[in-house]
Amino acid sequence: MSSGAAHSALAASALHAASAPVRVTGLGFVTPIGHTAECFDDALFNGRSAVRAQTLGIAGLDPIELAVAACDFDAASVRSSSRLPLDRGTAMALSAARDAAAQAGLQAGSVDPERLGIFWGSGLAGAGAFDDTTRALYGGKRRMRPTTVLTVMPNAAVAELALQFGAQGAAIAYACACASSAVAIGEAMRAIRGGWIDMAVVGGHEAMLTPGVMASWHAMRVTAPPPPGAPGSACRPFSDDRAGFALGEGAAALVLESEAHARARGASEAMPLFLAGYATNCDATHITNPDPAGQVRAMRAALRDAGLEAAQIGHINAHGTATTAGDAAEAASIREVFGNAVPVSATKAIHGHVLGGGGAIELVAALRTLAHGMLAPTANLRVPDAAFDLDFVRGDPREAGNLRYVLSNSFAFGGTNAVLIAGRATNR
């Protein structure tokens, strides 16, 4: 082979690796709509909301009426690998990751630890532990728990997951507000494609249904009030009467690995799902008002990364916050990239806005959509805003038997945009 031909072969090989799909071999989640695939699917495809009304009482403040989606989850039942106390969010992360690893057949010592990574996202990380500590301090307690910092720090969940699985490759925490876990998943995908690692446990969590955090979100006037007698209808993405989102909590984890690694270790092919594309960028225009132009660039970059045309996307799992500015920007950006030909759903109406963990949970929803060939309706969306000329899935779920690719959006305060594209193999 001539030097020119060898160079071309190496370039072609590098290009293939840079665009190669990455297998999804395990899923695990702790969400307000369930901790098992059966419960999650039932709520997803039937538009069953877990949002409930909560009255927040704080001394010195008028009662605050909120709509929130909490998990039925006992954090005290989760034993840590570090033997330290766990923040509620870290306990959720550990539980979800253990389930994902079990499905993937990943056990400590079963893979090269230096080729195994942890990539995890969260916006406020140990919010519960921090709230407990500050309340105790200002309530008169003068001795702090010496493990507080280790419980609150943004990479607490990453550290616990690395200990759990013996991961000695990259172990990185991402904090990009509502895009945190989507960025974590996408960056893991890049690391696997680049050959830095073979396998990663990825995802994100958020557990910030604490008084201080809930009151702070309420003060921003972006949360929806619970309608009397029907709190589950509080969050109405893309609706003409949308009024904001419901705060949620939860975690979702995935096991990602290269196709070659999955085949070499005999990973089950019962779940023929993969990640095909990813892109992240920043609007760099405003802290809270999203810029459709930045979202357009992110979606088009993800399509290029996957080697796909817009027409090959069969469904969009929208960020869909149900805020005035957020939905308008996303509807405009989707219209710019896809026209009105691609069905759109938004799932925050049923599991709440899980902030830093939202991208991972919504990617799980996209993967379940692929697995079933069924498009979930956007709960509570009866009359779409007339300004949004899109094909919204509403009412009943929609059959989509030949579904190959879905796109999931995550757009964050600070202007960070993250877009993931997942696919379903048909020739395994």
List active site positions.
Answer: 178, 319, 353
Angle between helices 127-138 and 88-104 (to 10 degrees): 160
The candidate with the shortest Cα–Cα distance to 155, out of 142, 173, 169, is 173
CA distance readout (Å), 199 to 6, 94, 110, 280, 394: 29, 17, 12, 21, 37
For the record, the structure tokens of 398 come out as 């929609």
How far is residue 55's CA from residue 39's CA, in Å, rounded to a whole number? 27
The candidate with the shortest Cα–Cα distance to 273, out of 189, 396, 181, is 189
Start-to-end CA span in the chain (Å): 34
Q: In DSSP terms, which residues pair with 391 in a beta bridge?
A: 343
CA distance readout (Å), 163 to 82, 204, 327: 7, 17, 40
Handedness of CA 388, 236, 356, 101 (dihedral sign): negative
State how beta strands 64-69 and 52-56 pair.
Answer: antiparallel
Question: Is 346 within 8 Å of 394 (Cβ atoms)?
Answer: no
Q: Please report, as a single letter, which amino acid is at residue 389.
A: D
How many C-beta neighbours within 10 Å does residue 287 have?
9
How far is residue 384's CA from residue 234's CA, in Å, rounded to a whole number? 15
How many C-beta neighbours within 10 Å does residue 190 have?
15
Question: Is 420 within 8 Å of 182 (Cβ atoms)?
Answer: yes
Q: With the CA atoms of 339, 342, 346 and 347 taken in that order, what torsion angle do they form, in degrees rounded to the nearest 10?
A: -170
CA 359 to chain centre: 2
Report the run of H or E that residue 180 belongs to, with start and end: helix 180-193
Q: Round the CA-based radius of gyration of the chain to a whole number and report it.
A: 21
How far is residue 108's CA from residue 275's CA, in Å, rounded to a whole number? 24
